[in-house]
Amino acid sequence: MGKRSSWALPYAIFLILFVAVPLLLVVLYSFQDASGRFTFANITKFFTDKDALSTFALSIEVAIENTALCILIGYPAAYILADKQLNRSAVTVVLFILPMWVNALMRTLATAELFTMAGIQLGKGTLLFGMCYDYLPFMIYPIYNTLAKMDRSYAEAAADLGAGPFTVFRKVTLPLSMPGIASGVLMVFMPTVSTFAISEFLTNNKIKLFGTIIQENINNSMWNYGAALSLIMLIIIGLTSFLGKKDEAGVQGGAV
């Protein structure tokens, strides 16, 4: 033990207290019934509960839709931001990041208020709008980063070899920006699966997502089932991020 490694001690204590112990508790609670006896009931309950399963499916569906929407809007935005001819000032970048300085909850509440004022029915459309609004910067930023760092000579080389502007984009710029898209997807998809505040405020709880059920169970003191659901979600997010990482590594390996 060097002198320096002792500096990590406070961090280790923090990690144990606020990450490891709570995680252990979640696992522990998942396999206990209300009286503290060991059981698989919580897990089996989820896989037999039609409502829970369909909510889960809906959550995944909404997350996929939101991610797709974020790519569709975020990619062109990032492209414009990274293009020095289209975007001549750094202010535009700040304008895109500026909304992130306002708390997400506040933004969501304000968005809901706006919809109500405009007389727009709250539902899946407003839910996707709110999610996209909240998570768009997380998609734009990694893509912007990849595009801004990309050597301009690749696009020039492609044009030089006879590719028109669209072909240059399709055959060179887009494939080379895949690592940025991959990290954007990770940063948008995972949090959307577990979100509950946005669906609560922007659909008036009409649409329930997986995060909402967990929150409801815990609010109603059904700690064990809530913990089990959390554990399932944790495993799924862990899996997607693991797959995503592997995928990203593959793309980057080809891109260096």
Binding site for other proteins (CB under 8 A): 151, 153-154, 156-164, 167-168, 171-172, 175-176, 254-256
Least separation in angstroms between CB 41 and other proteins: 50
Task: Answer yes or no: are the C-beta atoms of 104 and 134 closer than 8 Å.
Answer: yes
d(CA 89, CA 110): 29
Closest CB to other proteins among residues 125, 254: 254
| Residue 173 DSSP label | I
- Could you please report the per-residue DSSP string of 14-81? HHIIIIIHHHHHHHHHHTB-TTS-B-SHHHHHHHH-HHHHHHHHHHHHHHHHHHHHHHHHHHHHHHHH
Between 132 and 178, whose beta carbon lies closer to other proteins? 178
Least separation, in Å, of the C-beta of 79 and other proteins?
18
* 178/198 with CB nearer other proteins: 178
How far is residue 181's CA from residue 178's CA, in Å, rounded to a whole number? 5
Least distance in angstroms from the C-beta of 149 to other proteins: 13
CB neighbour list of residue 34: distance below 8 Å, 6 or more residues apart? 224
Q: How far is residue 182's CA from residue 37's CA, in Å, rounded to a whole number?
A: 43
Instruction: Quote the least distance from Cβ 248 to other proteins, whole Å.
Output: 14
Closest separation in Å from C-beta 156 to other proteins = 6
Of the pair 99, 164, the CB lying nearest other proteins is at 164
Return the ∠ at Cα 196 (arms to 244 and 192), rounded to 5°: 20
Distance in Å, CB of 148 to other proteins, minimum: 17
Residues contacting 105, CB < 8 A, separation 6+: 197
User: Between residues 159 and 236, which has the closer beta carbon with respect to other proteins?
Assistant: 159
Task: Kindly tell me which of 8 and 86 has the beta carbon lying closer to other proteins.
Answer: 86
